[in-house]
Amino acid sequence: MVPGYLLVQYFRRRNYLETGRGICFPLVKACVFGNEPKASDEVPLVSRTEAAETTTTWQALKLLFCAMGLQVSYLTWGVLQERVMTRSYGATATSPGERFTDSQFLVLMNRVLALIVAGLTCVLCKQPRHGAPMYQYSFASLSNVLSSWCQYEALKFVSFPTQVLAKASKVIPVMLMGKLVSRRSYEHWEYLTAGLISMGVSMFLLSSGPEPRSSPATTLSGLLLLTGYIAFDSFTSNWQDALFAHKMSSVQMMFGVNFFSCVFTVVSLLEQGALLEGTRFMGRHSEFAAHALLLSICSAFGQLFIFYTIGQFGAAIFTIIMTLRQAIAILLSCLLYGHTVTVVGGLGVAVVFAALLLRVYARGRLKQRGKKAVPVESPVQKV
C-alpha cells in the first residue's frame, strides 16, 4: 500500500495527466486518474417496471430461481466454511489427521475464482465505460481481505451460529461507518431496529451453552476477530457505495476489488512462505481440494446471483431472501455439527431476524410514501 500511495502522489504532483506521454500513459491514467465517462458510453439500464409484458408466472419462476440460487450458493458456502476451518482431514483409526490453518490461502482461492468469473462476465456482457481510478479499489480490497480473514479465523474460536448472529448485527457498525465515511443521517426506526438486533444478539450469546473448545482466552480471541470482521466489512460496503458514484457496474466493482485482493494475498503468502505449504496441503488431501474449490464456486456465483436478484426484484426482496438464508444456516449448523441453542438463545435469534424484516418493511413503506430511503449498503462483497 505504501509504495502505491507514493506513486499516486508522485504522478499527481508532476501533473502527469497533462504532461505525460509514452506507452505507459494509458495505464497510469487508468490507475491514478481514471476516465470521465461520456453520456454516450453509458449502458442504459432496464427498469423493473418495464417488465410488464412478462407474465406473472414467468416473474414467479425468476424469483424462485433467484431464491434457490442464493440459498444453495450461500448455504453450501456456510456449511463448507465450518467444515474446512473446524474439522480434520486425513483422519484414520490410528491418526487424528491434520487441520487446515491458513485462512489467507482460502481467501486467495475465493478471490481468484471470483476474479475469473467477473472478468468473463465483463468480456461477454456490455459494461459502462470505466471511469474510477483503479487505485481506489485497493482500499475496499484490503478491508475485504482482512474481513474475510477475520471471518475464517473466528471459526477456530466461536461457533458458526454465533458468527451468523454477529453478521446480522453488523447493521449497527454499518450505520456508524455511514455517519463517519458518508456523513449520512438515519431515521428513528433504524436506530430502533439496530437496538433490537443488539438485544437479540446479547440474549443469544449470554444464554448459549459453552462450546467444547471454548475457554476465556478463545472466547476473547473470537470476539476480537468478529469485531474486526464487522468493522472491516462495514468500511468495505461504505467505500464501495462511494465508488459507485463513478457510474460503474457491479461486475466491474467485483473485478476491481478482487484483482487487488489477489495481489495482496499472493504477496502476503509469498512473504510468509505459506503459498507453497497451502498447495502441499491441498495435494495431500484431495477432499480439502474439493471443498475449497466448491467453496470458491459458491462464493463467486453467489455474488452474481446477488447482482441479478437486486436488478430484477430490488434490494428489499434480496434482503428478505438473505435474512431467511441466515436463519436456515443456523439451523443447518446446529443439525450437522451439534451446536446447542437454549430457549432464550432461540428467542434472541427470533428477535434479530424479526428486527431485520422490520427494517425491510419500514424501508418499503418509506419508498411508497415517496421519501428518499437510506441507501442500502453495497452487496458486492457479502461473502
Distance CA 128, CA 193 (A): 37
Residue closest to 382 by CA, chosen among 160, 168, 180, 121: 168
Q: Which residue has the cell 458486492?
A: 380
> In b/e form, how buried is each residue of 273-296, taking b as 16+ CB within 10 angstroms?
ebbeebeebbeebeebbebbeebb
pTM (2 d.p.):
0.69
> Which residues of the chain register pLDDT less than 50?
39-53, 212-215, 371-383
Distance CA 142, CA 240 (A): 12
Grid coordinates given for 289: 481440494
pLDDT at 377: 47
pLDDT, tens digit, 9 for 90 and up, residues 120-131: 988 888 888 877
Question: What is residue 195's three-state secondary structure?
Answer: helix
pLDDT at 116: 93
pLDDT, tens digit, 9 for 90 and up, residues 134-159: 888 888 899 988 988 888 888 888 77
